[in-house]
Structure formats: structure tokens, C-alpha cells
Chain A
């Protein structure tokens, strides 16, 4: 286009693309489809009973009506429309005033029974034209195939339907209660196939959706989580597929993000590097949550916003705990600089958790730089994951997104309470984070002591010493280096009085392998 800038041309191109698409309005489905369904196309939606097909189709109609679109919904199932409407009226998308004004419900069962597919096609054509619909739903089409209306007639019907709906520029969805394979006759003929599944994985019912075919456009492949809530069908694309190709982190001005604990910040050469992820590794009660709260509060003191994203302690209890230690968390929560997001201990969806957090971080524009995040703990994500082999890819994609958003993250990881060996339950986590800080109990002189050591800190110098730390009325206090042997095994031995020597400093130390120190029989010698 002569005389027009390239940005203008790309804008025009985007508008043209958008005009060719029908937005579903179903959260994140259009993202999976790279912009929505192609107008005038015909799609097959398959899935077993109870997998969410009917809810999805109705949601589509109501969302479409919100944008002044008009839909015709023809049920070929024996179940009445009245009953179906009764089932969907509790969803938030349902608006009764749209029924029979912009969404027109008909039963096609009687026509199909008396006049076959030919009669049904006439009815469809008539209804779409009469009500000027640009969205058509045919629910329960498979039930129309019988001895009388054979497979050949059915295939011819689909062909003719494609022609009719293309001419009328009416985007069509064929809902089939199939749960076996994707070789149903219509699937060879349609422009796209969307499959809802519902499986029992252990005691858990897992709903998913997959796009198997989508003519004319790219799409996000594979299975994606589906949640059916009061708002209808919610889709959570797989995190590792969404962010498979992350751009390079553009943040150049890195700063140190301290904990407000002088000696610990010294060990970290001033604090964690901004835009990095660090794991706090430790058994229950070692002080991981308290250290994390220190991190958030110190940020707030510097005017940096922070988010606590936890699974165990509800906010009131967390505030109470922090107040007891004199951290002053409540003040920052009241001022809105620290947000406490608590996930009740229920069944969660892995991608939904990541999405919730990432969308929050993306949409918060106030004080967008130098934000702090404390995830307490990673087990919450692990418990939500129904496919163990996803863990590594998920964590990699998720932490990459946090870096891209210039968020400095601290993530807790639980170790067993009484186990001398250091087995990281999530070894893949250690690979994708920049830092690992270990908190450990050690038994010395009939005392249980807490030790802290930095096991790994990429891109930064750090103190390799092992320090004792105490939880006092003033929060966490880190003491001098600890002079003992084999303390990381949890079965340390004192080798002299505590050293007053300055701690050693290490530059880009190699990651320590997990110590598999076997306890000697007899315990302390």
C-alpha cells in the first residue's frame, strides 16, 4: 500500500484476520486457536457424556449474543430443550432475555424421525435464514444415524450442510456424544475437530480438551486442562506449550533484592539478583515461610510490591505469625504493597495455578518493575500435576515467564523431616532456578539447631559457609559460620569452638551434588 506505513499495514492485516474469526468468548480457547474459529466453517465437537460439550456450546451462544450475534441451537437428542435450559440457567453466562430473542432453541428430533436428514437440512436452512443466525449448534447428531437414516445419507447430509452453512456464512458446531475414536464420518469432512475428554486418574476426575484438526490456522497442540465452574467451561492451555518460545529477558539493569537480614544478605553479596528464581529447601519447621516473609517485607520497605502465593497457611494465620516475629507484615498488606494469595488445600489444576499467578503479574501495571514473589511451596503445584513427566517442562516454562516479567521469585521446597540424605523431591526444580538455599536441622550437643547454606547461586558470588540461624522475636537471625563436620547430613560433629574467621566467598561455585551421607550406626560420636 503506497504511502502507508508498515505498522498501518499490519494493523489492517490484523483487522482482516479478526474479521475472519468468530471469538468463542470461552476463556483462553481463542488463544489456543490463535484468534478463534474461522467464520462459516464447520466444526465437530466430540466427547463422552458429562465432558462439557453442551455447556460449552451454550456458553458459545450466550457469548456470541453478548456481541449482538444470533444463534440457532438445534437439539437432536431426546432430552428436551426445556430440561437443558433448566440445567444451564445457573451458569453466570446465562441471560434469560437472550433466549428466543438472539438464541433460538429448537428440537430436531421429531423432524429427523419423520422426514430424515433431508427434512432436518430443510429445517436448519429455514431456521438459520429466518432468525438471521451466524452461529449454529447441532447437538446429538450421532443419534440420528439409524437403519432408516443410514451412514450414506448422513455423509450426504454433512456435505450439504457444509454447503448451506458456508453460503449462509454460519459457523457450525456438530456436538457428538462419541467417546471412542475420531474416525466418525463427519470428522473427515469438517474443518476442525475439538475433543473434550473426562478421565479418572486415581480418585481425580480430569477434564481436558484437545484440538485434533483445524483447517486454515495454526493452533496449540495437545491436551489442555478444562475446568467447569459457575462461569461455564474454562480452558487452561498447557504452560510449557504457551511459552514454548520465550523471548530473551530484556531487563538489563539488575539489582540486588535483599532479605533485610544483614548477615544473610552479606552471604548473598547484597541479596538475590533481580529477575531470578531461588529455591528455599528445607524440612518442615526450618523457617522457610518466615524467611520468605522477610524477603517480601524487605521489598515493601524499599517500595517494591510483593505477592505471597501459598497453599498452607491462610492469610490471617500468616499475618499473626509474622506479627509475633515483629515483621510488620500487616502494615504492608493493609497498604496493598504485599498481597497474600492463598489456595485452599483442595484439588487444583496445574496450569490454572500458573495462569492465575502470571495473569495477575501481567495485568498489574502499578509498580511493574522490581516485584517480588514468594511461592510457598512448590508442592502445591506438584500435587496439582496429573502427569509427572510434565513437571520439568512446566517448571522451566513457568520460571522463564517469571524472569521475563522481571519478578524475583523465592520458592519453597519441602524436605522430609527425619531423613539424613538430601533428596530433592523435585530435582528438575534445581536445574531451572538460579539459586538453591538449604535450611537444615542438625543435632549437636543434645540440641536441635537450624543451619543455613547457599548451595547454588548462578551469576553471582556467594558465601559458601554454613551458618546457624535462629528464629527470634525479631524474625530470623543468622549467626557466624558453623564449625562442625558433616552437618549437611543432619548428623554433624563439632570439631572445635565456633570459628570467628571470615566466611569464604565463592564465585560461581559449582552446584553441589546432593549429599548422600549415610549415617553411622551409633549416631553422635
Chain B
């Protein structure tokens, strides 16, 4: 089963994404912020085929988490889709994300984006 990690401080959004992706047959791990995500990665010692990260989060922003993941051997090549309420004003080459979802997005955009990165693999 394809495993996806969703990192978002917005509880309702994170739970909604989990529900939709589980309906599509994915295994989903939800974390409320970057710190939780790193802790979860350490504890679970499992691999994820895709990571969805919200940019604006407390404790550790989505971009900081992305940086940490890219520095981790296990996550250097894992596709990352960023989510944000506004357009991103940072350089994609520098931060190396793979996809972007502008909030609010609908179910079809989510599934389409996720499929794009999970089917490729």
C-alpha cells in the first residue's frame, strides 16, 4: 500500500485529506507540524512515497521541514507537494519541492496531484 505523509497544523484540513486519500486506497500518516513529522519519521522508521506539507505551520515552517527532509538520505528523493493559502514567493530550485496545491483546493485537484506523483513511481 502506498504510504503518504500529510503535515498540516489545520486539523480539519489534515483530517479531510486523510479521509479522501484513504478512500483512494492510500495509507495516510497525519502530523500537526514539522516537529511532529520529524518525530514520527524517527519513531516509525518507515518510508513514504509522497509527503504533503503545509507551508505556514507553528514551530517549524513547511519550508524548514522540507529542508530537513532533503538533508535526510531517506527523503532526499521523496516527492514533496507543498500546500499554502497564497502563491509561493520562494525559489523552487533552491527548496526542491515537486508539486504545489493552492488552498483552498478541491478533492479532484488533490487526487490528481497525488496520483501524478504516486503513479510515476
Residue of B nearest to A113 (CB): B11
Select A82's contact among B11, B36, B57, B85, beta carbons within 8 Å. B85
Question: Nearest CB to that of A111 among chain B residues?
Answer: B32
- Closest residue to B89 on the A side, CB-wise? A101
Q: Report B-chain residues with C-beta under 8 Å of the C-beta of A105.
A: 56, 85
Query: Does B53 belong to the interface (CB within 8 Å)?
Result: no
Measured CB to CB, the nearest residue on chain B to A110 is B32
| Residues of chain B with a CB closer than 8 A to A74's CB | 58
Task: Say whether B74 faces chain A, with CB atoms less than 8 Å apart.
Answer: no
Most A C-beta atoms less than 10 A away, residue of B11, B12, B32, B104: B11
- State whether A123 and B56 are in contact (beta carbons under 8 Å apart), knowing that A80-B10, A107-B11, A109-B11 are contacts in the complex: no
Q: A173-217: contact bitstring with B at CB < 8 Å (1 yes, 0 no)?
A: 000000000000000000000000000000000000000000000
State A203–B36 Cα separation when bound (angstroms): 51
Could you tell me the distance between the alpha carbons of A86 and B85 in the complex, rounded to whole angstroms? 10
Q: Does A243 belong to the interface (CB within 8 Å)?
A: no
Interface size class of A (residues with CB under 8 A): 20 to 34
Judge whether B9 and A106 touch: CB under 8 Å: yes
User: Which residues, 10 to 41 on B, are CB-close (under 8 Å) to A?
Assistant: 10-14, 32-33, 36
Q: How far is the CA of A446 from the CA of B56 in the complex (A)?
A: 83
Q: Please, how many angstroms separate the alpha-carbon atoms of A108 and B103 in the complex?
A: 18
For residue B55, CB closer than 8 A to chain A, the reply is: yes
- Residue-wise, chain A 377-420 has the 8 Å CB interface mask toward B (1 for contact) of 00000000000000000000000000000000000000000000
Query: What residues on A are CB-neighbors of B118 within 8 Å?
Result: none
Instruction: Say how far B54's CB is from chain A's closest CB, in angstroms.
Output: 9
Q: Mark A98-123, 1 if CB is under 8 A from B, else 0.
A: 01100011111111011000000001
Q: Is the CB of B86 within 8 A of A111?
A: no
Q: How far apart are the CA atoms of A368 and B104 in the complex, in Å?
A: 52
User: Counting CB contacts under 8 A, is A518 at the interface?
Assistant: no
CB-CB under 8 A from A127, the residues of chain B are 58
Please report the C-alpha to C-alpha distance between residue A96 and residue B104 in the assembled complex, in whole angstroms: 14
- The answer on a CB contact under 8 Å between A100 and B86 is yes
Q: Looking at the complex, which one of A96, A104, A114 makes contact with B56 (CB distance below 8 Å)?
A: A104
A residues within 8 A CB of B59? Answer: 123, 126
Contacts of A108 in B (CB 8 A): 9, 58
Q: Is A151 an interface residue (CB 8 A)?
A: no
Which residue, B9, B55, B86, B104, has most C-beta atoms of chain A within 10 A? B9
Which of B10, B12, B57, B86 has a CB less than 8 Å from the CB of A99? Answer: B86
* Residue of chain B at shortest CB distance from A120: B58
Cross-chain contact B33 with A100 (CB below 8 angstroms): no
- Which residue of chain A is the closest to B102 with respect to CB atoms? A82
Complex Cα spacing A79 to B10, Å: 8
At the interface, yes or no: A168 with Cβ under 8 Å from chain B?
no
Inter-chain contacts of B86 with A (CB < 8 A): 96-97, 99-100
Question: Considering the chains assembled together, what is the distance between the CA atoms of A104 and B9 in angstroms?
Answer: 13
B85 x A99 contact (CB < 8 A)? yes
- A181 to B85: give the CA distance in the assembly, Å: 36
Question: What is the 8 Å Cβ interface bit string for chain B, positions 49-86, against chain A (1 contact, 0 not)?
Answer: 00000011111000000000000000000000000111
A363: shortest Cβ distance to chain B, in Å? 37
How near does chain A come to B61, taking the closest CB pair, in angstroms?
9
Query: Contact between B85 and A100 (Cβ–Cβ < 8 Å)?
Result: yes
Contact partner, A80, options B12, B56, B58, B84, Cβ 8 Å: B12
Given the known interface contacts A80-B13, A104-B56, the answer about A111 and B33 at a Cβ–Cβ threshold of 8 Å is: yes
A85, CB-defined interface residue at 8 Å:
yes
Are A110 and B84 in touch, CB under 8 angstroms? no
User: Given B32, B84, B85, which contacts A114 in the complex, CB threshold below 8 Å?
Assistant: B32
Q: Is the pair A111, B9 in contact by a Cβ cutoff of 8 Å?
A: yes
**A111–B13 Cα gap in the complex (Å)?**
14
Q: Measured between C-beta atoms, what is the minimum distance from A262 to chain B in Å?
A: 69
- Bound together, the chains give a CA A300 to CA B36 distance in angstroms of 74
Assembled-state Cα–Cα distance A82/B14 (Å): 12
CA distance A127 to B85 in the complex (A): 18
By a CB distance below 8 angstroms, the chain A residues around B84 are 100
Provide the residues of chain A in CB contact with B103, threshold 8 Å.
82
Residue of A with least CB distance to B57: A106
A75 to chain B, nearest CB (A): 8
CA distance A126 to B13 in the complex (A): 23
Tell me whether A83 is interfacial, beta carbon within 8 Å.
yes
Say how far A165's CB is from chain B's closest CB, in angstroms: 16
Say whether A107 contacts B55, CB under 8 Å: no
Chain A positions within 8 Å of B57 at CB level: 106
**Within the assembled complex, what's the spacing in Å between the Cα atoms of A126 and B35?**
13
Q: Name the residue on B nearest A81 (C-beta).
A: B10
User: Smallest Cβ distance from B63 to chain A, in angstroms?
Assistant: 11
Q: Which residues of A contact B36 (CB under 8 A)?
A: 114
Q: In the complex, are the beta carbons of A81 and B11 less than 8 A apart?
A: no
B85 contacts A106, C-beta separation under 8 Å: no
Once bound together, how far apart are the Cα atoms of A85 and B85, in whole Å?
A: 8
Q: How far is the CA of A192 from the CA of B28 in the complex (A)?
A: 44
A81 and B58 contacting across the interface, CB-CB below 8 Å: no
* Shortest distance from the beta carbon of A157 to any chain B beta carbon, whole Å: 16
Chain B's nearest CB lies how many Å from the CB of A83? 7
30 contacts between A and B (CB under 8 A): A78-B12, A80-B10, A80-B12, A80-B13, A82-B85, A85-B85, A99-B86, A100-B55, A100-B56, A100-B85, A100-B86, A105-B85, A106-B56, A107-B10, A107-B11, A109-B10, A109-B12, A110-B10, A110-B11, A110-B14, A110-B33, A111-B32, A111-B33, A111-B58, A113-B11, A114-B32, A123-B58, A123-B59, A126-B58, A126-B59
B residues adjacent to A (C-beta < 8 A): 9-14, 32-33, 36, 55-59, 84-86, 103-104
Q: A78-B12, A107-B10 are in contact. List 9 more A-B contacts (CB 8 A).
A: A80-B10, A80-B13, A82-B85, A83-B104, A86-B104, A99-B85, A110-B14, A110-B33, A113-B11
In the A-B complex, the 10 residue pairs with the smallest Cβ-Cβ separation, listed nearest first, are A110-B32, A107-B10, A82-B103, A109-B11, A123-B58, A107-B9, A110-B11, A82-B104, A80-B10, A106-B58
